[in-house]
Structure 1
């Protein structure tokens, strides 16, 4: 299930954030685009929720971001992650 895989990756990222988040952000952004239909069939409301803000959050990531920039990224992603978790059926 693609949706569960993506949610586990986000959760792991939020718990153990790497020093460079660029690869992670690209992977999540690509997953939301490439696997949208499959994930939507699994969890439509949660995927719709994630697709509203997470691509923009991920697009804001740049290589070599400062720790404070990474913390802002994490806070924004965490908010959307928690919203999506509440919509899982």
Structure 2
């Protein structure tokens, strides 16, 4: 499940839709629902991903301007990269 979630984030970062609200809500929910399963697979990386990523997801709003979306992506990429560095 950890890899599935990370691939979901990677796909979003590479192919960002015009409206990111659905993604931000879905990602936040996935992190909560699948936390235990992800933690079993990659404990440290899951903890890192769940530290700040829910706060980043909370920034997603319908109808965001392109510069706001780029800021969201930048913050999400930072968390993604930190979690990837912790993968064992």
TM-score in terms of structure 1 length:
0.97
Structure 2 gaps, min length 5: none
Matched, 1:51 2:62: no
Cα distance in 2, alignment partners of residues 4 and 37 from structure 1: 14
What is aligned with 1:40?
Answer: 39
CA drift at 1:52: 0.5
CA drift at 1:27: 1.0
Matching of residues 65-80 of structure 1 within 5 Å: 65-80=64-79
Cα RMSD, aligned residues only: 0.5
What is aligned with 2:14?
Answer: 15
TM-score in terms of structure 2 length:
0.98
Matched, 1:85 2:48: no
Structure 1 gaps, min length 5: none
Secondary structure of the 2:67 match is helix
Residue correspondences, number: 88
Name segments (4+ residues, structure 1) moved above 6 Å. Answer: none
